[in-house]
Structure formats: C-alpha cells, structure tokens
Amino acid sequence: MTSRDGYNWTPSEGLQTGVPTIGKILPESNVSSNEKPYDVIVIGAGYCGLTAARNASLEGLQVLLLEGRDRIGGRSWSSNIQGYPFEMGGTWVHWGQSNTWREIMRYELHDQVEKSFNFEKGVKHFELNTPNGVTTMSHEQEDELLASALNKFTNIDGVYGRNTIPLPHDTFRTLGSADLDNISAKDRLNDIASILSPQERAVLEASILLASGGTLETTSFHEFMHWWAMCGYTYQGWLDMLITWKFKRGQSSFAIRFFQEALESKRLKYAFNSPVSHVRDNGKQVEVTTRDARKFQAAKVISAMPLNVLDRVTFDPPLSSGKQSALKIKHVNQTVKVHAELSNKDLRSWTGITYPHNELNYAIGDGTTPAGNTHIVCFGGQQNHIDPEVDISRTKRAVQSLFSAENYSNSHPAPAVERLVFHNWSKDEFAGGAWFFSPPGLLSNHLNDMRATHGNVVFANSDWALGWRSFIDGAIEEGERAALIVRRDLLGAKFDAPRL
C-alpha cells in the first residue's frame, strides 16, 4: 500500500510522490455514523498517540483515534520499496531507551534489531571535506576526532556535565542548569574556540547541527547537554544510542504492533485522513471537529500533535498564555534527510562530513539494497537548506559532493545515484519540521506550560517529554503519561499508586 507521504526518485521513473509503507491503514476508518460519545479521543497516530490509544483501550475505555495522515507513525515511519525499508523519520533504537526497549520486548521484536553500519568490508574510511581541504582517515581516527571535540564541548564542570545535569529527567532541578538554556551552541563554541583544532571545530559544528537541525545560534546548549546526559555523558554512549541500532524491517513494523493491539481490544475506533480543526471543551464534554465538519464527542481528549503545528487547531476556551507563547516560539529543527541508493557496494563501510559548503553535511553507509547497491542516509540543515523534491539534480549533486573527487578515478569512479528517497518534513503540514530541538529559553521558560493539561484536554508529545525528548522513547513516555491521567480521571482511584 502506498502512502501519499514521501518521495521516490529513480533515473528511469523520475520523481514519484508517495511511497509504499506497511504503516498505511485500510480501511481508513471503522467509525459508523451513529457512534455514541467516547471516553477519550486521541488526536494523532504517532508513537505518542498510538501508545495512549492502546493503553486506554486496554484499560476498558472507549477510544477514538483521529489522524490527519493516511498512515501511522507520525514523524517515525518507514517505506517498503521492493521489500527494503528506508527510514523516513526517526530510526535508531537502543536498550538504554527504556520505554522503547520495553515495547520491543513486549512485541518480541528483539531479534529484529540490527546494526546500522558495517565497517568490515569495502573502503572502511571517513571523509572530512571542509574549506581547508579533504582528509581521509580510518574510522578509529574518526572516533578519536569526534570524541575529542565532543568532550571539549560538553566538559562544563570537569566531569562532562555529570554534576550539572545529574538527573536528565529533571534537568532544571540543579542550581545553574537552567542557565545553560539561556545560551546557544554558538556561545559555547566561542567559549572554547581556542582549544579546538580546525578539524575538531568542523566535525563538532556538523555534529551539533545534525542533532538540532537548526543553526548554531538557534540551538539551545542545554538541550544538547540533555541529549549528552541521556547518552551517559560519553561519546561511545552518544554513538551507541543515537545512530547504531535499527529495525531490520523499518520503524513501521514496530508502530503497527501498537495499533494492532489496540484494535484487538475491540474498544478502538479510528479515522485516518481526518485532520482536526477545532477542539471545544464545555467543562463536561469535549467536542472535536474535523476539517470536513464531522463532529465527535468525548469525556476527555488527548492531543498528541507536535508543537510546531499545534497552533493550526483552534481551542475553546483559548489555551493559556504560556502555551501560546511556546506555540509562537516553536522548535528549530528543519533537518533535511535524504536516502540515496548508490552503485558502489564498497561504500557500505563509508562515512563522511562535508561542511559547511554542501546542502547535505553528514552521511553514513546504512545498508545494502536488494539490487546489491549501498544505501546511505544523508542529513542537511538550515544552512544551505534545500527542498529535495524541488530540484532533483541539485539534490543528486549534494549527495555526490559528499564524496571527495581525489578518492576516485577513471578506474574507480564516483558512485552513481540509483535512487533517492525522502520526506520533506519542513513542508509537512502535520509536523512543521523534524524531531524536536529547542532554541535557547524555550524549555526553561515553557516546558511546564507545554505539559500542562487544559481542562479536559491532555497535551502529550515527545516534544515535551522529560527523558528522551524528541525521540520515539519520549513519545511512548508521553503517551503513557496521558493515558494514565485519563484513566485516573475516568476510572477512579484504583489506578493510584498504593500508599507505603
């Protein structure tokens, strides 16, 4: 089944809109015309909404799940092109992400997790291309360079942030930690400029922008340190938890399990292709109106919509001033993520950074396609930003520019681009950008505002999770929190924790 989301380009077929995915849901709705009011309506079928809908339905509540897309997964979904998955959004998982790993074990998918990169055969090198020239090095040297740069950047207290952010799930508890949210990554780089080599500066800036999808000036230093703390305050943890392990069959093979289990409860109704326009809470019941004027009622609503598009829905009564301020600020991530299928199988063991002059800054060999080609995943950001579908020739050049000309010759030509696959998150009306990353001041001033319940409407999203904020794990964390709030309100004290 083909979703209307995403793009697929090949030399023979050109650019096609929409890609196959197992995450597309048919029939698009199981709602009848005479439905009674629900216990809870969940808006959004990303991992947060799926978790909330599943948990609430399993506890005995009658649930309606509304989704504007034709598929599940939100900002984390995978294609299924000729049986091969290309991850369109969130990709990597790790057992250090406890909510995610618990669900992996719940659905017995632990044997479906594989290593993303493979450095055993092929070129086995890292290419660093900057205005100062091109350097080719081993992956061991790559790790030494990145570890040195990241350690200098994060060593704010002599122990790489351990004293300043000792409890990553409660980062603003420690005196002085909130001050980190008032400075940008650029501010921190300026502070340590004298101890960074040119190569360290280049790979560090590229790594910061890979995480934030913003600019150095709009990247909160605190939020970067929060990621670092969640990864165990080490480069190896950063590598292991952020970019090493993924699903063999793609994220949608995971997300579909949440949806299927909720359906099995016989208490889930759903309607895809049903974007919401208005939410009205009269104090006793909430009415949700879709863009095509359908109206649904429930005792509670869980809004699982991302921060950057939440202001496209009208709420009555109006949201608090703190929420409205957060909606105006928004998060900064406008990452460009492009998958490329390349003709050279030896690039399976290749990684590269081309910065700051290329539209795509970072890439890594990420798999071997059924045709025997190398699949690389490439990332760009706001600097030299492109909309990949607008000019395919430019996008192809951005991919090919990741490979230094000096490493290729007539006998060993640069790889040909056989396929491009991507999703333009910046233009996505239900996302407004990629994963969450905050500008300075947003979280220290408005984290609690974003998390606050508004009458009978519970706001839940990975964008304001306490742990793996912006990750799949954070989405699951938030979905569980929202479902628990609703269950306690509707089903009573039997769900309260026992007194000790």
Which strands sit side by side in the sheet containing 350-354, from one edge to the other?
14-17, 7-10, 417-422, 336-342, 374-380, 362-368, 350-354, 125-130, 133-137
- All residues at 6 or more sequence positions from 10 whose CB lies less than 8 Å from its CB, including other chains: 418, 419
Question: Domain-by-domain residue ranges, the chain?
Answer: 7-93+250-329+431-491, 117-243+336-380+388-423
Is residue 406 over pLDDT 90? no
Is residue 47 over pLDDT 60? yes
pLDDT, tens digit (0-9, with 9 covering 90-100), for 375-397: 999 999 988 999 999 999 999 99
pLDDT of residue 415: 87
Is residue 183 over pLDDT 70? yes
Is residue 369 within 8 A of residue 375, CB to CB? The reply is yes
Is residue 242 over pLDDT 90? yes
Half-sphere exposure of 204 (CA within 13 A, CB side): 27
Before 131, cis peptide (omega within 30)? no
pLDDT of residue 498: 45
CATH architecture of 7-93+250-329+431-491: 3-Layer(bba) Sandwich (3.50)
pLDDT of residue 80: 94
Is residue 137 over pLDDT 60? yes
Q: Compute the average pLDDT of residues 21-44.
A: 95
- Helix (H/G/I), strand (E/B), else coil: 489: helix
pLDDT, tens digit (0-9, with 9 covering 90-100), for 459-491: 999 999 999 999 999 999 999 999 999 999 999
- Helix (H/G/I), strand (E/B), else coil: 177: coil
Angle 356-360-365 from CA coordinates, rounded to 5°? 120
What's the gap between Cα 18 and its chain centre? 20
pLDDT of residue 174: 83
Distance CA 238, CA 180 (A): 20
Q: How sure is the predictor about 171, in pLDDT bands with cuts at 50, 70 and 90? A: confident
Alpha carbon distances (Å) from 309 to 169, 380, 388: 25, 22, 22
pLDDT, tens digit (0-9, with 9 covering 90-100), for 285-314: 999 999 999 999 999 999 999 999 999 999
Is residue 251 within 8 A of residue 475, CB to CB? The reply is no
Alpha carbon distances (Å) from 362 to 63, 319, 339, 381, 394: 42, 39, 12, 10, 16
Q: What are phi and psi of 421, to 5 degrees?
A: -135, 135
Angle 28-34-38 from CA coordinates, rounded to 5°? 80
Residue with the two structure tokens 């055993």: 120
- The pTM (predicted TM-score) of the whole model is 0.97
- For 407-414, the CB contacts below 8 A with 24+ separation are 407/123, 407/127, 407/134, 407/136
Q: Compute the average pLDDT of residues 144-167.
A: 97
Is residue 154 over pLDDT 90? yes
What's the alpha-carbon Rg for the chain, to the nearest Å? 23
- The CATH number of the structural domain formed by 117-243+336-380+388-423 is 3.90.660.10
DSSP string, 39-106: EEEEE--BHHHHHHHHHHHHTT--EEEE-SSSBSBTT--B--BTTB--B-S---B-TTSHHHHHHHHH
Distance CA 50, CA 44 (A): 8
Q: Using the 8-state DSSP alphabet, how is residue 446 labeled?
A: H
pLDDT of residue 33: 81
- Percent of the chain whose predicted confidence (pLDDT) is above 70: 97
Binding residues: 276, 379
Distance CA 368, CA 84 (A): 9
Helix 235-243 crosses helix 221-230 at what angle (to 10 degrees)? 90
Is 352 exposed, middle or buried, given 0-12, 13-18 or 19+ CB atoms closer than 10 A? buried
Is residue 500 over pLDDT 50? no
pLDDT of residue 460: 98
Q: Compute the average pLDDT of residues 83-100.
A: 97
Binding residues for FAD: 276
Is residue 499 over pLDDT 70? no
pLDDT of residue 497: 46
Distance CA 327, CA 459 (A): 13
pLDDT, tens digit (0-9, with 9 covering 90-100), for 20-32: 999 999 999 999 9
Binding residues for substrate: 379
Alpha carbon distances (Å) from 283 to 23, 301, 382: 36, 12, 43
Of 17-26, 92-101, 399-408, the poorest mean pLDDT is in: 399-408
Q: What is the length of the chain? A: 500
Is residue 411 over pLDDT 80? no
Mean of the per-residue pLDDT values of the chain: 96
Q: Compute the average pLDDT of residues 60-86.
A: 97
